[in-house]
Amino acid sequence: MIRLAAERMSAGAPNAEGERGVIVSTASIAAYDGQIGQAAYAASKGGIVGMTLPIARELARSGIRVVTIAPGIFETPMMAALPKEAQESLGKMVPFPPRLGRPAEFASLVAEIVRNPMLNGEVIRLDGAIRMAPK
């Protein structure tokens, strides 16, 4: 997916600073705090984290930035399937703010990444300072 997006972006005209686009990937805090039973999931998210900087360096010559967001516990369709009490309990695990992350907060970070040309090759945790327990 990144390769295909980068090909299309590379063909475009650069802006005044030479930028042709921004690729924002999504990982997860599981890349850092994988829980028992999550080895495959944590490894896949760790792979996204690990490829961010090398791909950013490779695509820099084409004027393309690469940034990854590693979200914590967010309001998602999967989360909406849980009982309200379970959602509230998970939200209380977040140090601050003690609630689930909101899609608008994720979108706001994406918008800032696009606006700020110095954000490149970075993984940003968007998690309210939560660190997941082993289980």
Catalytic (active-site) positions? 41
At CB < 8 A and 24+ separation, what contacts does 26-30 make?
26/68, 26/69, 26/70, 26/71, 27/68, 27/69, 27/70, 27/123, 28/70, 28/71, 29/70, 29/71, 29/72, 29/125, 29/127, 29/130, 29/131, 29/132, 30/132
